[in-house]
Structure 1
Amino acid sequence: MAERILLAGCGDLGMRVAARLLAQGDEVWALRRRPPEQTLPGLRWLGADLAAPHSLAGLPAGITRLVYLPAPDARDKAAYRTLFVDGLRHLLQALDGGALRQVLLVSSSAVYGEHDGDWVDEDTPPAPPGFNGALLLEAEQWLAAQAVPSTVLRLAGLYGPDRLQLVERLRAGVPRVPRALPHWANRIHVDDAATAIVHLLRLPAPLPLYLGVDDTPLPLDELYDFLARLIGAPLPGEGPAPAGVGSKRLSNARLRASGWVPGWPDARDGYAALLDT
């Protein structure tokens, strides 16, 4: 059955989601402050600002699914609160609540803290070490208290086309990694993140929370050394673990049990394919 779906904050990930939904025959709207000139056939753009409630007047009637996946302009507390907490509230107030059957909030594994390399899943209590995770968690909790059915997808670190900053930093010899004690990294290819979102929109009875990550957590030094060898760059030297991230191994068991299968279960294969094009 075709749905009427609104993607709020439709950047790179949102466009990948939109392409898959349109291919399935859904009606898809995308909301951004400045819609791009080049777009997908059939995608309907809405020029509006999530931080300005008056700009959200006159949204399409009958939206059945909302995917909330904006990206802040700045990495600061005020920008995150405006977009993820206030913006979500403004948009839900502006939409037709009688038609809306699901809100899918794209969140982040930043809501988790330090776990000394232990496995983390949806039952692990969140303990965000930074303002970004804290505000995303606040948005999750606010959404869970609303009447509309909701699903949260906490994504690990995204990589993919146009998301190869790590590779460029390795070429420049910038990164340092801890080697004496493993610091675990978790990744998901942006295309797999898109398929996970579409999958959760199609589930007849999704659970309230899922972790979006590939099958293969990797020690940071192992991932960085692999990429450095792949591009012929020097291996990164010894250094401290990234601040405010925490060492943990994220489990995708719940998402996989729901029927989702990653196209790139190991980031090493995903990066290798990207760098081979």
Structure 2
Amino acid sequence: MSPDVLLVGAGDLGAAVGLRLADLGHDVLALRRNAALVPPPLHGRSVDLTAGTPDLSDVRPRLVVVALTARPRTEEAYRATYVEGMARALDALQVPPERAVLVSSTAVHGGSDLPGLQDETTPVAPSDGPGRQLVAAEEAFHQRLPHGTVLRLSGLYGGASTRLLDQVREGRVTDPHRWTNRIHRKDASAAVVHLLTMAEEPERLYLGTDDLPAQMGDVAAFIAEQLGAPAPPPADPSQGHGKRLSNARLRSTGWVPTRPSYREGYAGL
């Protein structure tokens, strides 16, 4: 039987999405450089999208998820993976899917200090090459799948990375006043599945972030308390800088984060 779901990219987030869909009864095919790393019951196919067009003549998925990862974080790597690689995969499909979600990033909003919360109506303002390529990828995605949905995720956490925990433990939090936006990986994967399976037709764009933009100093102080580490420099709202994001549009579809803030996400460390 031909799989009814295609994952274009099956790293930590893509695989988590695939496993959720498999639990719902879907048959999932995942494209990844090394198919041996694709967790069962997902079916893996070894494909390097930066090297050539895959043969997908045997695949007619109803649902498509594009969740790619580029390394290193350079404009060239992002173009090769997110723009050119994604285009090869989508162009190889024989028929368009019923629904598709491209996982993008709120990095396309740059680090602007606009007043109030930014949302899907805020113009993009990428501040570097990778951000510009993500904008190009969103455009290429909608050119091929006009009915598709882009989900811009804020800072992912909750996986294997201990980078922020190490910074707090070692006293290396240097910008406590910066506003940060984050989403737990479990809530992010749930959001992708929700947009693929919700009864109503999703819109073209959503921001995926939790309920509470927070200054880094507040987040670090909570983590330090959990770890028993020295308290970091305190945050000062009057000196806050950076963007703050709203999840109102995504929440209006019925998606609810299980970790609405960093407190629930980092509790129990």
TM superposition score normalised by structure 1: 0.88
Aligned to 2:183, what secondary structure does the other structure show? Answer: strand
The partner residue of 2:156 within 126, 143, 158 is 158
Aligned to 2:28, what secondary structure does the other structure show? Answer: strand
Partners of 1:99 and 1:112 in 2: how far apart?
29
Match of residue 140 from structure 1: 138
Match of residue 103 from structure 2: 106
Match of residue 243 from structure 1: none
State the Cα distance separating 1:170 from its structure 2 match. Answer: 1.4
State the Cα distance separating 1:224 from its structure 2 match. Answer: 1.2
Identify if the C-alpha distance between structure 1 residues 126 and 53 changes in structure 2 by more than 3 Å, giving closer, same or farther: same
Identify if the C-alpha distance between structure 1 residues 38 and 153 changes in structure 2 by more than 3 Å, giving closer, same or farther: closer
Give 5+ residue unaligned stretches, structure 1. Answer: 240-245
State the Cα distance separating 1:116 from its structure 2 match. Answer: 4.5
Asked whether the 8 Å contact 2:180–2:243 carries over to 1, the reply is: yes
| RMSD over equivalenced CA pairs, Å | 2.0
Partners of 2:212 and 2:18 in 1: how far apart?
27
Q: Percent identity?
A: 41
**CA offset digits 1:139-162 (Å, max 9, x no partner):** 111222235521000001011031
- For 1:92-241, what aligned pairs fall within 5 Å after superposition? 92-96=90-94, 98-113=95-110, 114-116=112-114, 118-178=116-176, 182-203=177-198, 204-237=200-233
Match of residue 258 from structure 1: 253
Partners of 1:35 and 1:17 in 2: how far apart?
16
Partners of 2:4 and 2:210 in 1: how far apart?
29
State the Cα distance separating 1:73 from its structure 2 match. Answer: 2.1
State the Cα distance separating 1:115 from its structure 2 match. Answer: 2.3
TM superposition score normalised by structure 2: 0.91
Identify if the C-alpha distance between structure 1 residues 106 and 256 changes in structure 2 by more than 3 Å, giving closer, same or farther: same
Give 5+ residue unaligned stretches, structure 2. Answer: 236-240
Partners of 1:76 and 1:217 in 2: how far apart?
27
Aligned to 2:139, what secondary structure does the other structure show? Answer: helix
Partners of 2:196 and 2:212 in 1: how far apart?
25
**CA offset digits 1:68-127 (Å, max 9, x no partner):** 11111211111100000101111111111x252222110000010302463100001110
Matched residue type, 2:123: P
Number of aligned residue pairs: give it: 261
Asked whether the 8 Å contact 1:85–1:136 carries over to 2, the reply is: yes
Partners of 2:102 and 2:257 in 1: how far apart?
20
Aligned to 1:128, what secondary structure does the other structure show? Answer: coil
